[in-house]
Structure formats: C-alpha cells, structure tokens
Copies of this chain bind each other. A is one copy, B any other.
Amino acid sequence: MAKAPTVYDVAERAHVSIATVSRVLRSPDAVRETTRDRVMEAVRYLGYVPSGNARALAARRTNVIGLFFPGHDDLDISAALSQSAGAEVPIVVDDGSLVQETENLYFDEVLRGAEIEAWRRGFALMVAAGRGASREALVNDIAGRVDGLAVLARTVSDELLAHVARRIPVVVLAGSERDDGFDHVSASNGPGMRALAGHVLGAHGVRDVVYIAGPEDSPDDAERLDGFRAALHEAGIVESDVPVYRGDFTRERGRAIGERILAYHTPRAVVCSNDQTALGVLDVLEARGIRVPDDVLVTGFDGITAGRHSRPTLTTVHQPMVELGRAAVHAITARLDDPTLAAQSLTLPVQVVLRASCP
C-alpha cells in the first residue's frame, strides 16, 4: 500500500503521456496495439488501479447509485465483536428462544433488486442504513457521492429530500404518490388489500371481522386500510361495525393485540396490515388452542418468507420487493438519461397468495 501508483507513474514507465494511458483504459481501440501493450504491461507491473474519485470528478459522473434505508435500529450495534474460537464449540438446544427477529426481508430483497438492476446498467450501488440523528447527515453525505438516490418513504425529512434533489435525481420507495416532484415507486397496496379482504368477506362470507393496522405514519398502511374499507363497502358491511386496532408492524405487537382482541370476543377473521403482525396473531391463537382456519381466519400482507413456513402457512398479499428495487434504479437511470422527464409514479402489481390460514 505504499502510495498507490497514478496515471503519471504508468505513463512514465510506458513512455507515453498520461492522455494515452487514459485512452488505453477508456477506449482501447483508439490506441495503437503496440502502445497499448506497453501501457498494460506498466499497469500490471505497477499494480495500477485507477482512482474512481478522480475519474468521477473529471467525468462529472460517478456511476454510482445510492440506496438509503432506515437502520436496523441500534439494537445490536452495541454488542462487542466476539473474539476467540478454539475447539470448544458450544452445543445448545433450540427451544425457540434463539429466534432473532431479523426478518428484514423487505430491505434485503429491495436491495437485491436494486443491485441487480444497477449492475445491469453499469452502476455501482452504495448502501447506507442510517439511524438516529445522524441520519440526515448521512443522506447528505451519500448524496454527494452518487448520481442518483433511492430513499425509503418517510425516512428522511421532505426538506432534506428537496435539498438533495436539486443536485441529483431522487426516487421515493413505497408510500403513496405525492405531487412532490420526486419519482415514485410503490406497490399496489390498496387494490391488494381490497382483493384479499374481498376474498375473506366474499368467498368465506365473513362478517365478524377485525382489522389490525400498522403504524400511523406509514403511507403503505394507510392505503391498505383504505383498500380494506373499500372491500367492507362492497360487502355491504358498515365500517363502524368493524374494530380497527393500531399495531406497529411487529410480531410482538401482533401478539399483544391478538390477546386483547380475544379477551373480549373471538372474531371469525383477523385481517392484518402486514405479515409480522399476522404471525403474532397466529402465535396467540395457537397458544389458546383456537383452530386456524376452522375457527378463525387470519391474513397478512407483504409475502415474507416466514409466512410460507408458519403453522399454519399464512395467506397474504405478495409485494414484488425485488422488482421495487429494480424499478427504483430504473427510474433513476431513466431520469439521468433524460432530466427533462416529468416525475414518474410507478405502481407495481401485487398478488394475493392463498395459504392455509385463509384458503
């Protein structure tokens, strides 16, 4: 790592100018073969790796796209790095307590989609998961390093987003469409929930139903609730007859609310605003020996993997998470190619997936 070699070093060794070195790397065909070979030899000999920063600066384009998510909130951050190893391997019995609720599937899958699409278009991907107060600083920092930025809705103040958007294209992931001038990519939350609830109320003819919503500030959640209400309306059920509980998208909260619901009355169906919540409800139902789907129908939303493995398996609405990531990157590159484009708002289709909890 003794002072990385530069174009100058390579040029000197190959007896050419730095311009020629640059050409060999950017457009090899514009250089005579013998010259090219000499340059490449020097590159190898010196262990030359071009500076991406210098390049980006000169070319006024980084070829990097940024992705910002809210962090895996501080929970495990404090834990010190475990050390040692040795031969003594502990043997433990998994009684269920080992389960770390790291079902951050949403993040993972969107990221994967973004990575795939970025790669296809010749961009690198820079990810940041910000937490706490430094979040805004992080976003600002990353914004200075990329050609475009995808941000999960509601994780950053509109003010900062607007600030950043003056420099690079910004696309907002998930959430509802807003006429804020940003590009927007989301899934069909409302229609999805409406179709699912329609199935519950229609195919099963349920009328005694309860709804568990997500956190107040989630636009996704708001759309789902709207979809649910639309389904109620279609089924001729009076909205005020249906209790709506306010959850927070976690399994734990799902359990708590499940308990509360059952303490009072056992409904024929529990429709949840996301899968985690639904899984929590299933936990409670199972603990009480209440049969699903025989006694109670349960549904979720998202399509996380855990729902395929739960007992019983979970009926849900599947969001195309990988596609969301891809679409976000696509939106950014499209705008990069043509900055005059009007703000796009893409809504990706979802799919109701029927499983055992509500066949």
Contacts and interface: CB of A to CB of B under 8 A. Distances in A.
A94 interface: yes
List the number of copies, as a whole number: 2
Contacts of A313: 94
A157 interface: no
A17 interface: no
Nearest to A71: B119
B49 A53 contact: no
A27 interface: no
Given A49-B164, A124-B141, A85 B129 contact: no
A191 B104 contact: no
Contacts of A1: 165-169, 339
A351 interface: yes
A98 B353 contact: yes
A24 interface: no
Contact of A62 (B53, B81, B109, B112): B53
Given A55-B144, A163-B49, A188-B85, A91 B323 contact: no
Nearest to A164: B49
A242 interface: no
7 contacts: A1-B166, A4-B166, A49-B144, A49-B166, A53-B57, A55-B144, A82-B323
Interface of A: 1, 4, 44, 47, 49-57, 62, 64, 71-72, 76-77, 81-82, 84-94, 98-99, 102-104, 108-109, 111-112, 115-116, 119-120, 124-131, 138, 140-146, 162-169, 188, 191-192, 194-196, 199, 305-306, 308-310, 313, 317, 320, 322-323, 326-327, 330, 339, 347-355, 359
